[in-house]
Amino acid sequence: MNNTAKKALSLKFAFLTAVAPLMMLSSPASAGIFRKSCKDAYLKVQNDTSQKIKVIDLDYWDEKDDKWRSEPVPNEVIPSGQPWQEIRNLEKVNKDDTKIRVKYRTLTNKGKWSWKVSKKESGTLVKCTQGQQYTITLR
């Protein structure tokens, strides 16, 4: 390979090295990488059942990625008539429509926590902005 061919090859490599990362950043697949968190979302699960429940997981809906995202919570027992509530930052759904879903267990007739996991969603999608409230009432 002569010097002219080597220089041309070197320039092509330099161009591709500089441009390829920029092309990746502008692709639809990478659009979700830079989505912001919805700050200080107020999440509330009201236990209006006749017995205590154990909250085992909380998820929120990511409309753009068409999937549930998990928001880890400690397994927490909520007495009848009482709320579970927290303020969280929900990743990648700032100014996007979302809703929450709670997963919980109830007590069996023998006073043990059931193996069956019950689920309930907050209902319609609501745009997530700072301080947005999402409530689920269990009856």
Tokens of 135: 């409530």
CATH topology of domain 35-138: Immunoglobulin-like (2.60.40)
Specify whether the CB–CB gap between 58 and 75 falls below 8 A: no
Distance (Å, rounded) from C-alpha 60 to C-alpha 70? 7
Per-residue pLDDT tens digits for 74-91: 999 999 999 999 999 999
Question: What are the structural domain ranges in the chain?
Answer: 3-32, 35-138
Question: Is-contact 119 30, C-beta < 8 A?
Answer: no
30 confidence band (pLDDT: 50, 70, 90): very low
Helices (H), the chain: 3-25
